[in-house]
C-alpha cells in the first residue's frame, strides 16, 4: 500500500519567515495530495490540495508543489503569523476508490 | 466543521466496558471514515464506508466495530475497551468522486482507565 513520509516533525520559525514542510510518497499511482491544518482541540481542516495533473497551486500565503518524478510534494507558507501555529498533515490517495494515507504530521510553531 | 458532528466530545470509561462513538453529517456525502490519532503517529484509519451497505476495515480495525445506520450516520464501537485505546477519535466524510477530499469532525477524546 501507499506510504507517506513527512519532515520535519517539528518546525520553529520567527513571525514573517517562510516555512516549508516536505512529504514523499511511495506509490506512483497516487493522484491526489491534500494538506490539513489541525489547531489545538480541533479536527483537521483541509487548507490546500493538489492533483497530479498540476505542478503547483497557490492560495494567498500558502502554496503546494508536486514533483511526480521524485514522488514528493511540499507545503510552503510565506510571511508566517502566530495563528499559523498548528500541526500540519500531508496525505496521498490513489484515485476515487482509495482512502487517504497520512503523514505523521509537523508541529509548526511561529514565534512573535 | 459543524457539518460533521461527533458525540460525545469527551468520554472516560473503564477497562472492559463497551462504548459507542457516534458521527453524524449534513454534507450529503456518501463516504464516511473513522480515524484514531495518537501523539506522533498521525491519523490511522480504523474503518471506512463508501455507502450505506459498504463497510471496510482500515489499517487498525482490531478491537473496533462499526455500524452505518444511514447515509448520514456512522458509529464506532469498542466492544471491550482497553487502556491502549485511549486516543483522539475523528470521523470524516467525503463525496463520491475521483478525489478523496475529506472533511473532519471535531473529535472525541476517549480515556480508558
Q: What is the pLDDT of residues B85-106, one digit of tens each?
A: 999 999 999 988 767 789 999 9
pLDDT on residue A53: 83
Q: What is the mean pLDDT of residues B64-84?
A: 96
pLDDT over threshold 60, residue A2: yes
Q: Residue A43 is nearest to which of B41, B45, B90, comparing CB atoms?
A: B90
Q: Which residue has the higher pLDDT, B98 or A70?
A: A70
Q: pLDDT tens digits, residue range A35-45?
A: 999 999 899 99
Per CB-CB distance under 8 Å, the chain B contacts of A44 are 43, 90, 104
CA dihedral A52, A109, A38, B78 (to 10 degrees): 120
pLDDT on residue B96: 84
The dihedral built from the CA positions of residue A38, B98, A25 and A49, taken in this order, carries a sign that is: negative
Torsion angles phi and psi, residue A67, rounded to 5: -120, 100
Q: Tell me if A99 and B97 make a contact (CB, 8 A cut-off).
A: no
Q: pLDDT tens digits, residue range A76-85?
A: 999 999 999 9
C-alpha cell at B20: 459507542
pLDDT over threshold 80, residue A106: yes
Per CB-CB distance under 8 Å, the chain B contacts of A31 are 98-99
Q: What is the mean pLDDT of residues B29-39?
A: 94
pLDDT on residue A88: 98
pLDDT on residue B98: 64
In chain A, the residue whose alpha carbon lies closest to the alpha carbon of B107 is A43
pLDDT on residue B42: 87
Q: pLDDT tens digits, residue range B42-61?
A: 899 999 999 999 999 999 99
C-alpha cell at B71: 447515509
In total, chain B counts a number of residues equal to 113
| Helix intervals (H) in B60-100 | none
Per CB-CB distance under 8 Å, the chain A contacts of B105 are 43
**Total H helices, total E strands in chain A:** 0, 11
Q: Residue A32 is nearest to which of B90, B100, B106, comparing CB atoms?
A: B100
pLDDT over threshold 70, residue B1: no
Amino acid at each position: 500500500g501507499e506510504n507517506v513520509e513527512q519532515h520535519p516533525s517539528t518546525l520553529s520559525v520567527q513571525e514573517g519567515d517562510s516555512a516549508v514542510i516536505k512529504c514523499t510518497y511511495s506509490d506512483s499511482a497516487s493522484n491526489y495530495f491534500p494538506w490539513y491544518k489541525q489547531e489545538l482541540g480541533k479536527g483537521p481542516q483541509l487548507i490546500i490540495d493538489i492533483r497530479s495533473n498540476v505542478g503547483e497551486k497557490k492560495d494567498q500565503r500558502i502554496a503546494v508543489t508536486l514533483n511526480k518524478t521524485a514522488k514528493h510534494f511540499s507545503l510552503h507558507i510565506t510571511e508566517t503569523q502566530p495563528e499559523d501555529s498548528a500541526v500540519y498533515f500531508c496525505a496521498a490517495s490513489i484515485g476515487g476508490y482509495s482512502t487517504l494515507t497520512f503523514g505523521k504530521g509537523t508541529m509548526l510553531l511561529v514565534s512573535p | 466543521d459543524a457539518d460533521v458532528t461527533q458525540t460525545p466530545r469527551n468520554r472516560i470509561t473503564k477497562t472492559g466496558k463497551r462504548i459507542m462513538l457516534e458521527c453524524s453529517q449534513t454534507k450529503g456525502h456518501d463516504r464516511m471514515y473513522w480515524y484514531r490519532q495518537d501523539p506522533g503517529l498521525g491519523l490511522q484509519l480504523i474503518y471506512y464506508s463508501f455507502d450505506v451497505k459498504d463497510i471496510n476495515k482500515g489499517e487498525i480495525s482490531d478491537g473496533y466495530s462499526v455500524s452505518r445506520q444511514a447515509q448520514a450516520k456512522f458509529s464506532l464501537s469498542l466492544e471491550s475497551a482497553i487502556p491502549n485505546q485511549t486516543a483522539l477519535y475523528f470521523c470524516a466524510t467525503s463525496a463520491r468522486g475521483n478525489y478523496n477530499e475529506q472533511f473532519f469532525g471535531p473529535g472525541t477524546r476517549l480515556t480508558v482507565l
